[in-house]
Amino acid sequence: MNAVSDRKPAVEPGDANLYINREFSLMEFNRRVLAMAADESVPLLERMRFLTISCSNMDEFFEIRVSGIKQQTAAGVGVTGPDEVRPQDMLARIHETTRGIVAEQYRVFNDVLLPRLAESGIRILRRTEWNEAQAAWAADYFRREVQPLLTPIGLDPAHPFPNVLNKILNFVVLMEGPDAFARASGISIVQAPRLLPRVIRMPREVSAGPYDFVLLSAVIHHNIGELFPRMDVKGAYQFRVTRNSDLFVDEEEVEDLAEALRFELPRRHFGAAVRLEVAENCPAEIANMLLDHFQLGPDDLYQVNGPVNLNRLMKLHELVDRPDLKYPPFSPGVPKDLAAGTDLFEVLRSRDLLLHHPYQSFGPVLDFIRKATSDPNVVAIMGTLYRTGAVSEVTEALIDAARAGKEVTACVELRARFDEAANIDLATRLQNAGAQVVYGVVGYKTHSKMMLLLRREEGRLRRYVHLGTGNYHTGTARGYTDLSLLTANEEICADVHKLFRELTSPGETPGMKQIYHSPFTLNAMIIERINEQAELARQGKAALIRAKMNSLSDPGVIKALYLASIAGVPIDLVVRGVCCLRPGIPGVSETIRVRSIVGRFLEHSRVFSFGPNGEYTYASSADWMQRNLHRRVEVCFPILDAALKARVIEECLDIPLSDNVQAWLLQSDGTWVRRNPGDEGRRAAQEILASRLGGTGGTA
């Protein structure tokens, strides 16, 4: 018997101390993103981009996660997770931790990135740095482009505090002087319209170089006196409010989900306030007035040393044409046997195809979908759409197919957070083109990624399928790591067809032969595979579990992994974001190692491998989270072809697990430590895969 399995665990696998709180883990992930902004090995403009991503992540954290915890606290909800942390204790820890992260964001911005950008000829000029000509230009720009769009609201009984939109830039202005109506408030609110650019390039005639910029906030602040004739402005202070952005629609009560969401969307801008950001120089009495108005407490106040909307500086990456300060251009590869003119269906009839994005092009997937329009033998196409983007080649192909008289069925997930408006629009356009559109299953988000083509061949219908770990979004396919499987395997295709029937019509899906899906069979399969490896270890046989995913938080899966570790199973996990499991605890999880890779591409693929030789290897749309395994429609599919299985294991597990440049190792206390190559040879997984699969080469 394995020596480890003989030990009695120091604590039981269900003990609350063995689980890291999800929100705390999510904050640690944002620290890892922010660390990229301070990393000297990352190109300078990419560092600025990572800074803005960390700010955007923080916004969403407050909009969704913190707002939900505040609601739980107000409702008196007790312990909600396996870590047994109460909501009110979460809030206290969140405020303490996020203040530290925000302070680091502004330190990196002010003390590191701004000076380095200036050294490279890229300047973001503060008001105090403008010369006379620049100040005159800013005043002219303000009068022409900004002032006509501003409507100051003076606070008095006839002018109550205006509705302040979520995350919009605002100023509270203090003034003295004569008023035409003898009003004596002395306080006005100025909101910056969302359509105005936040980063403005100075013209060459007043700048020292081609890349001198000013922020809209500085232009408004410097000229704000123009809005109040004959008044003496005593102070102007930026502020920004973050609001609850979750939408609530009772699906069992509404008759038309699209219409209900369309009605609910405008409310996102005016949800309950959850955070107030103000400039560092904002007087306490003004900050307190704002807190009182937005019904927030002192803990909800964040005073920042710089612009309150750092995330809007993401535009700088696009505005500055300096390839030397960005990641080098990357061209995704195309498998050699998919050269122009290749009959994709002929290839798929002989073998499966695997594409590893973004290292390999998303083009073959688009070509597969376009076949529904161009091939007269293709009679029908069925697809799930979660996120496609506002302008989508996939959607256009489906619309063209419907207009061409093909049978098109689209399951559009309207509730993909922050993409609801785009998805309502694409659903409407598909319906207008003649496609059948459904919105999934009440109470369950349809998160699976699958397309099914039916093609008439030799007097019968043959099915072809695409299954993916990512979305049908050409933009994210260039920046997210994901897998695509194109197959004509009869059992997989039949399973996918059954699942589409399950999504569109009543009834129970008969037993599937190859794929597993949530909320029915996927969770049970994962637990079963973990338990099988544990039993092998108890028998003294070789066992191994390796998996890659975005998040790991499901208590049942974590407990099964602990039991497998107690049995002696080596377990290696690559988890990009949230991980609630604690590795390295003696007698409980000492055989478990967890790493996260943060780099140029967002690690998004989900791969699960069980057995010393990856006997069972799957790709999936699902993370090991409660929502994915129990409250969503997800698909997990096997990699059956031996050569493709070897590729998946090497590219998604072996190479990432050897990374010593961009990998972070999770400690048992919930902190992460970045790997250092030291005397080892440098191994950066994303660079290795880009070199191997990118360009014109690569394998299928």
Residues designated catalytic: 447
Contact yes or no for 543/566 (Cβ under 8 A): no
Helices (H), 548-617: 555-567
What are the DSSP calls for 168-235, one per residue?
A: --EEEEEEES--TT-----EEEEE--TTS-SEEEPPGGGSSSTTEEEEHHHHHHHHGGGGSTT-EEEE
**3-state SS assignment for residue 357:** strand
CA gap 639, 619 in Å, rounded: 7
Q: Buried b vs exposed e over 133-156: b needs ≥16 C-beta within 10 Å?
A: ebeebbeebbeeebeeebebebbe
- Cα 263 versus chain centre, distance: 25
Which two structure tokens, joined as six digits, stand for 249? Answer: 């629609």
**Whose structure tokens read 């410097």?**
222
Which two structure tokens, joined as six digits, stand for 287? Answer: 């900050």
**Whose structure tokens read 């937005």?**
294
CA gap 432, 382 in Å, rounded: 17
**Whose structure tokens read 């979908």?**
369
Q: Which residues contact 587 (CB under 8 A, 6 or more apart)?
A: 7, 8, 9, 10, 566
- Other Cβ atoms less than 10 A from the Cβ of 460: the count is 7
- Other Cβ atoms less than 10 A from the Cβ of 543: the count is 24
Burial of 276 (0-12, 13-18, 19+ CB in 10 A): buried
CA gap 288, 549 in Å, rounded: 43
CA gap 121, 6 in Å, rounded: 64
- Other Cβ atoms less than 10 A from the Cβ of 633: the count is 25
Rounded (10°) CA dihedral 523, 528, 533, 536: 170
Question: Could you give the angle at the alpha carbon of 35 between the alpha carbons of 92 and 657, nearest 5°?
Answer: 105
Q: If we measure between CA atoms, which residue out of 577, 581, 575 comes closest to residue 559?
A: 581
CA gap 98, 27 in Å, rounded: 7
What are the phi and psi torsion angles at 341 (to 5°)? 95, -10
Q: If we measure between CA atoms, which residue out of 503, 581, 506, 504 comes closest to residue 549?
A: 581
Question: What are the DSSP E strand ranges found in 365-414?
Answer: 378-385, 407-412
